[in-house]
Amino acid sequence: MHVSIVVPTYREALNIPELTKRIDAAMRPTGHTFDLWLMDDPSNDGVEKVVRDLGYSWVHLVTRTPPRGLGFAVLEGLRKAPGDILVVMDADLSHPPERIPDLVSAAERPENDLVIGSRYAPGGTIAGDWSLLRHINSRAATLLARLFTWVKDPMSGFLAMRKDILDRAAGDLDPIGYKIGLELIVKCRCRRVAEVPIHFSDRQLGKSKMGLKEQIRYVVHVRRLARWKYGELARFAEFGIVGLTGVFVNLLVVTLVSEQMSRMGFAASARLNTAITLAVFASMTTNFFLNRMATFSDKATKSLGRAYLTFVAVCLIGGVVNWWTTKRLATEWHEITLGLQIAALCGVAAGMLFNYAGARMFVFRTKRT
């Protein structure tokens, strides 16, 4: 059994000697043939000389061309590496090379589609000096990953899999940012994921690349995976989230306008009618632009003005659908406990479905070629 270890690098030359030394010590007793593929996004940090000086024939340095990024580097390495078992790990020594044989052993078993080096599986640990914010970020990212998998540490970048499992994804792999593991779980359809406990260490040398930009890229990645896995249902969920923001805009505008008109001495009826009207159109406007930028960002649209007017018309009709559904059901369910409230929720759902269908068909539809 041949094992290929893929390590994406960017300015990690200081860590390479220790990394290769520990990989060599871990893998030689196993009897497996193995090689290491350093996929370098041109670091210009002397990594070429470091690899030459090591003199290991099993270490291969690949200086990559664009597109740059950890996900793309790992993906290129997985496709280039010849191993029957493919291992992915970081270069900063946060993943213990001594656990590679355990991951390989688990990956060899046919019942496992993917094996993860897990911080959160029983027996797994992390360095004790993590800040509270770092813990919160990690848990929040794990919570988002629950859309796809219930493994304990889906954020792990330390993993192993058989080469044939990678082939399931064909050409669909298209990672954003650094969470290649989640990309593989989803697109290689890995239903059986084993977790091997590890101790996750902080980097000793070099500088971390983690920051706000990578966290934003992760959210974008999750959105893209949801679209890939759930299709139109994921888009409808985004439409609903945008609609929820419109509720807050509506409440804010109706409160501010009503209070301002009250100070100016307007009558109560005038305040109410004006505040409600402005709040409705304000929420429609924010919903339109958010849907244009997010929910339907991949769809060709009409000119901005025509698209906005069409969206307003659709939403007004959706309001009528909401009203009619609520009234009809409330009349039938008037003897049921909370019948009015249940009818109102059904009306909201009906109006939202109509608004989504109308926006999809008339406002943000793809132009025919």
The 10s digit of each residue's pLDDT in 253-283 is: 888 888 888 888 888 778 777 887 888 888 8
Percent of the chain at pLDDT > 90 equals: 28
| Token couple for 16 | 């390479």
Least confident range of 57-66, 128-137, 347-356 = 128-137
> Buried b / exposed e across 230-267, counting CB within 10 Å, b at 16+?
eeeebbbebbeebbeebeebbeebbeebbeebeeeeee
How many CB atoms within 10 Å of residue 42? 13
339 or 248, which is more confident? 248
Q: Quick one: pLDDT at residue 369?
A: 43
Which carries the bigger pLDDT value, residue 175 or residue 57? 57
Give residue for tokens 């539809």.
365
- Tell me what pLDDT residue 52 has: 92
Residue 158 neighbours by CB under 8 Å, 6+ apart? 88, 89, 90, 95, 99, 103, 116, 117, 198
Residue 234, pLDDT > 80, answer yes
CB 61 within 8 A of CB 30: no
Residue 295 has pLDDT above 70, yes or no: yes
Give the pLDDT mean for 175-185.
79
The continuous run of DSSP H or E covering 221 comes out as helix 212-230
Q: What is the DSSP string of 240-290?
A: HHHHHHHHHHHHHHHHHHHHHHHHTT--HHHHHHHHHHHHHHHHHHHHHHH
Rounded to whole angstroms, the Cα distance separating 5 from 88 reads 6
Q: How far apart are CA 318 and CA 330, in angstroms?
A: 18
What's the pTM value of the predicted model, to 2 decimals? 0.75
* Every domain of the chain and the residues it spans: 2-230, 233-363
* Amino acid letter, residue 219: V
CA distances from 357 to 295, 304, 315, 354 (A): 13, 19, 11, 5
What class does CATH assign to 2-230? Answer: alpha beta
pLDDT band per the 50, 70, 90 thresholds, residue 72: confident
Highest mean pLDDT range out of 30-34, 318-322, 350-354?
Answer: 30-34
- Whether the CB-CB separation of 113 and 159 falls below 8 Å is answered with no
Instruction: Find, among 108, 90, 232, the residue nearest to 161 by Cα.
Output: 108
Q: Which long-range contacts (CB under 8 A, 24 or more apart) does 298-303 make?
A: 299/364, 299/365, 299/366, 300/365, 300/366, 300/367, 301/363, 301/364, 302/363
For the chain, give the mean pLDDT: 85
Q: Please report the pLDDT score of residue 178 as a whole number.
A: 64
Task: State how beta strands 33-40 and 59-63 pair.
Answer: parallel
Dump pLDDT digits (tens) for 202-216.
766 655 555 677 778
Beta pairing, strands 33-40 & 85-88: unpaired
pLDDT at 340 over 60: yes
Residue type, 12: E
Q: Please state which of the ranges 104-113, 190-199, 314-323 shows the lowest mean pLDDT.
A: 314-323
pLDDT of amino acid 332: 83
- Specify the range with the lowest mean pLDDT, choosing from 44-58, 74-88, 123-137: 123-137
Contact 69/42 with Cβ under 8 angstroms?
Answer: no
Q: Which residues pair with 62 in a beta bridge?
A: 39
Write down the pLDDT at residue 244.
85
Q: Please state the rounded mean pLDDT for residues 334-341.
A: 75
Is residue 113 over pLDDT 70? yes
Q: How far apart are CA 285 and CA 308, in angstroms?
A: 8
Rounded to an integer, the average pLDDT of 19-25 is 95
288 pLDDT exceeds 50? yes
